[in-house]
Amino acid sequence: MPGSRQETQKLRRSLSLSQKESFASSLMTGSFDQFVNAFAIFLGATAVQIGWLTALPQLIGGLFQLIAVWFGQWIHRHRLIVVSAAMQSTSLAVIALLALPYFKDDSLGVMLIALVVFHVSANLIMPHWRAWMGQLVPDQIRGRFFGRRSRIAMLTSFITFLTGGVLLTFFESIALTWLGFFILFIVAVGGRSASTSLLYKMHDDHTQPTLGERHSLAQSFKHLYLLWGDIDFRRYSFFMAGMQCFVALSGPFFAVYMLRDLNFSYLQFTMSTGSSILMQFLLLPLWGKICDRKGNRYVMAIGVTVIPLLPALWLFSDNFYYIICVQMLGGAAWSGFTLASANYLYDQKPRHIHFASYSAIHSSLSALAICLGALSGGYIINWLPESISFAGIFIQIERPIAIIFILSSVLRGAIAIWYIPKAPELRVVNRGRVRDLMIRIARFTPISGVVIDVVNRRRRDTD
């Protein structure tokens, strides 16, 4: 009985610490993720450099998902999570220092290395955090616990993000923009450092596999190769990778377009981006209900009728309020598509013993696609001439980014037409309701707004 009481106390303490950790990590999300490209522009990054800053960290981080589960066999899950979170804090501190006027030489190269460390750490954390929470949180309170946790994360991230925009606008008005970025990133360092401390204090009774139970890296990759033979999974992964590639073709450059071409203030930049994020937050519960009634493919189909149009819509007007409307439309479409597409993989493999491996393959392919898209966008913008002549027609290209937006729209539509009409509607009876999913805000991204981790409350991830 005393032992049982002690275990209960450990559980309650860990659950309380986890809610506090949600607040701390969301300070990092709100003060860092959406401002990275704006900071790079402040440092004078070209379109090609923006492409590299977006692409390479995503690629290397995504590839680490393929070895994250294998890596966890050799280092205890709790220690791996805490050390990786500490590495993120360190990389954030390096980026914060780059805002200081004394560190501007070669700052973009150092920033690229720091972002690689940041994304590698995040991808080492992700699968183990999900497994840890799946074991830690009792089934009977899981929905309530993660519902509260997601509300804390959403509200904290959004308020921090808006406050950051106001802060940057103020310091820009007194010619101290560097100080605004420095304060923002110090907040991110503080948030992740507090998060690391809270994660360290939480209880984890995970047992490491014995030496005989561990797999070699070669065995792990062979296992992943065999899973890739699943045709339905492969088609879906190619669709999602293609969509993210063509979104990344234009996504990293919206900040460039707003801050350089349209001369938006940091406050306008924040309000524009924030309107999209707010729509995603507000509409997630509604989309969850529609997914339950109509299915995830149905909601994905609605999303891809709008998502291909979004980049092209930016070209019809430079008016700030028009851009806000386009962003809100994009937020509405992305919230449904993100939720439905994340759960569609669960519908394909609702209780598969190797689900984490399927997820790692899926994420790594998407990371490669994002890398190709972002790099292609940067180099195309850099390569486009100021004018072209075709069949005797002279065309002046005032904004090369406009070509990228149109190309992104066309290719998004093409990949949607290739996959969605033939995609099956998967109605899995025992997967629970989509609106009862555990949702964690993983990060903000300049590519498609909010990136969420979705974990079905009625299942536990195993691998």
Q: 77-130: per-residue pLDDT in tens?
A: 888 899 999 999 999 999 999 998 887 667 888 999 999 999 999 888 877 787
124: which residues sit within 8 A by CB, 6+ positions away?
64, 68, 71, 80, 81, 84
Two structure tokens written together for 417: 């037409």
- Longest Cα pair distance anywhere in the chain, in angstroms? 89
Report how far residue 168's alpha carbon sits from residue 157's, in angstroms, rounded to the nearest whole number.
Answer: 16
The mean pLDDT of 36-42, rounded to a whole number, is 91
Contact between 41 and 260 (Cβ < 8 Å): yes
Rounded Cα distance, 81 and 363, in Å: 19
**Other Cβ atoms closer than 10 A to 428:** 16
Question: Quick check: 431 and 460 in contact, CB under 8 A?
Answer: no
Please tell me the distance from the alpha carbon of residue 343 to that of residue 434, in angstroms, as a whole number.
Answer: 8
Q: How much is the average pLDDT of 211-231?
A: 69
pLDDT at 92: 94
Average pLDDT over residues 168-193: 94
> Which residue from 237, 135, 150, 131 is spatially nearest to 437, judged by alpha carbons?
150
CATH number given to 2-203+218-455:
1.20.1250.20
Question: What is the rounded average pLDDT of the residues 336-362?
Answer: 71
| Spatial separation of the C-alpha atoms in residues 299 and 322, rounded to whole Å | 26
Q: Which one, of 170, 85, 153, 177, lies nearest residue 124 by Cα?
A: 85
Under 8 Å between Cβ of 345 and 296 = no
* 177-201 helix and 2-32 helix, angle to the nearest 10 degrees: 170
Tell me how far apart the alpha carbons of residues 256 and 247 are, in angstroms, rounded to a whole number.
15
Greater model confidence, 365 or 127: 365
What pLDDT is recorded for position 435? 47
| C-alpha to C-alpha distance for 108 and 104, rounded to whole angstroms | 8
Could you tell me if 339 and 434 are in contact, meaning their C-beta atoms sit under 8 angstroms apart?
A: yes
pLDDT at 394: 56
Rounded to 5 degrees, φ, ψ at 448 are -140, 30
Alpha carbon 322 to chain centroid distance? 26
Using a 10 angstrom Cβ sphere, with 0-12 exposed, 13-18 middle and 19 or more buried, the burial of residue 253 is: buried
Residue pair 330/276 in contact (Cβ under 8 Å)? The answer is: yes
Q: Decide the pairing of beta strands 438-445 and 393-396.
A: unpaired
Q: Are 456 and 437 in contact (CB under 8 A)?
A: yes
Query: What values do phi and psi take at 263, rounded to 5?
Result: 55, 40
| Per-residue pLDDT at 199 | 92
Overall size of the chain counted in residues: 463
Q: Locate tokens 């994340």: which residue?
A: 342
3-state secondary structure of 394: strand
For residue 458, what pLDDT band results from cuts at 50, 70 and 90?
very low
Token pair of 196, please?
A: 């690391």
- Cβ within 8 Å of residue 257, ≥6 positions away: 314, 399, 401
- State phi, psi for 116 to the nearest 5 degrees: -60, -45
CA atoms within 13 A on the CB side of 370: 26
CA dihedral 302, 305, 306, 312 (to 10 degrees): 170
Write the single-letter amino acid at 33.
D
pLDDT given for residue 461 in this prediction: 41
Task: Kindly report which listed range (1-10, 31-40, 374-383, 400-409) carries the lowest average pLDDT score.
Answer: 1-10
Interval 300-335: pLDDT, tens: 999 999 999 999 999 999 899 999 999 999 989 988
SS3 state at 73? coil
Pairing of strands 387-390, 393-396: antiparallel
Residue in 279, 287, 283, 240 with CA at minimum distance from that of residue 433? 287
- Is the pLDDT at 456 greater than 50? The verdict is no
Better-scored residue on pLDDT, 163 or 432? 163
Average model confidence (pLDDT) across the chain: 81
Name the token pair of 6: 């002690």
> What's the one-letter identity of residue 253?
F
d(CA 143, CA 149): 10
